[in-house]
Structure 1
Amino acid sequence: MNTFTIIFIIALIISYSVQFWLSKRQAAYVKSHRNAVPEAFKNSVSLEAHQKAADYTIAKGKLGDIDSIIGVIVLLLLTVGGGINAAFELWASFDLSPRIAGIGAIATLFLVMHLIDLPTSIYQTFVIEEKFGFNKSTPKQFIKDQFLQLALSAAIGLPLLALILWIMDSIGSLWWLWTWVVLISFSLLMSWLYPTVIAPLFNKFTPMQEGALKDRIQGLLARCGFNSQGIFIMDGSKRSGHGNAYFTGLGNNKRIVFFDTLVNSLEDEELEAVLAHELGHFKCKHVIKMLIATSLMSLISLAILGWLINEQWFYTGLGVQQPSNAAALLLFTLVSPVFTFFMQPVMAYFQRKFEFEADDFASKNAQASKMISGLVKLYEENASTLTPDPLYSAFHYSHPPAAIRIAHLESKMQSA
Structure 2
Amino acid sequence: MELAKSWRRRSPMWKWVLLTVIYSVLVALYVWYTSPNNVPAAYKGTPADPATYFSPQQLKDSETLNPIRNWIFFTSIPWEWLIYLFLLSGGLARYWREMLERLPLVIRFPLFVLLVDIASFVLYLPLQIFSYGLSKHYGITTQPVPGWIRDKLVSFGVGYLTMLAVSAVAFWILSRRGRWWLKLWLISVPFTVFMMYVEPVVIDPLYNKFTTLSDPKLEAKILDLAAKADIPADHVYEVNMSKKTNAINAYVTGIGPSLRIVLWDTTLKQLTEPEILLIMAHEMGHYAMHHLEWSAVGAVGSSLVVICIGGWIYIWSIRRWGEAWGIRSRSDVTALPLLLLIMAVLSIASLPISNAVSRNAESSADAYAMKLLNSSEGEVSMQQKTGVITLSDVNPPLLVRWFRDDHPSDMERIIAAMDFAKSHGQQPGS
User: TM-score category by the smaller chain?
Assistant: 0.7 to 0.9
Q: Give me the whole-angstrom Cα distance separating, in 1, the residues matched to 2:18 and 2:259.
A: 43
Whether 1:300 aligns to 2:308 is no
Equivalence map 1:263-412=2 (5 Å)? 263-307=268-312, 311=316, 312-316=318-322, 319-325=325-331, 326-328=333-335, 330-338=337-345, 341-366=348-373, 367-412=375-420
Q: Give me the whole-angstrom Cα distance separating, in 2, the residues matched to 1:284 and 1:26.
A: 35
Classify the secondary structure of the residue corresponding to 2:89. coil
> Alignment identity in percent?
21
Q: TM-score, normalised by structure 2?
A: 0.82
Residue pair 2:27, 2:71 contacting (<8 A) in 1 also? no
Task: Report which stretch shifted further, 37-46 or 134-143.
Answer: 37-46
**AA aligned opposite 1:221:** A
Q: Which residue is 1:173 aligned to? A: 178
Change (3 A) 1:270 1:223: same
Equivalence map 1:146-157=2 (5 Å)? 146-157=152-163
Whether 1:76 aligns to 2:101 is no
Whether 1:413 aligns to 2:418 is no
Unaligned runs of 5+ in 1: none
Size of the alignment, in residue pairs? 407
Classify the secondary structure of the residue corresponding to 1:134. coil
Change (3 A) 1:249 1:392: closer
Q: Which residue is 2:57 aligned to? A: 48
Change (3 A) 1:88 1:68: same
Q: Give me the whole-angstrom Cα distance separating, in 1, the residues matched to 2:114 and 2:186.
A: 23
**AA aligned opposite 1:60:** R
Whether 1:243 aligns to 2:262 is no
Task: Report which stretch shifted further, 404-413 or 42-51.
Answer: 42-51
Residue pair 1:167, 1:179 contacting (<8 A) in 2 also? yes
Higher RCO (CA < 8 A, seq sep 6+): 1
**AA aligned opposite 2:179:** L
**AA aligned opposite 2:59:** H
1:29 offset after TM fit, Å?
A: 2.3
1:343 offset after TM fit, Å?
A: 3.6
Unaligned runs of 5+ in 2: 1-9, 425-430
2:151 to 142, 145, 151: 145
Equivalence map 1:127-206=2 (5 Å)? 127-170=133-176, 172-206=177-211
Q: TM-score, normalised by structure 1?
A: 0.85
Classify the secondary structure of the residue corresponding to 1:123. helix
1:302 offset after TM fit, Å?
A: 1.9
Classify the secondary structure of the residue corresponding to 1:79. helix
Across the aligned residues of Structure 1 and Structure 2, the Cα RMSD in angstroms comes to 3.4
Change (3 A) 1:403 1:237: same
Change (3 A) 1:390 1:290: same
1:165 offset after TM fit, Å?
A: 3.0
**AA aligned opposite 2:54:** V
**AA aligned opposite 1:354:** A
Deviations 1:99-134 (A, max 9, x none): 754443233112111011223322322x21221112
Q: Give me the whole-angstrom Cα distance separating, in 2, the residues matched to 1:352 and 1:12.
A: 34
Residue pair 1:106, 1:330 contacting (<8 A) in 2 also? no
1:392 offset after TM fit, Å?
A: 2.8
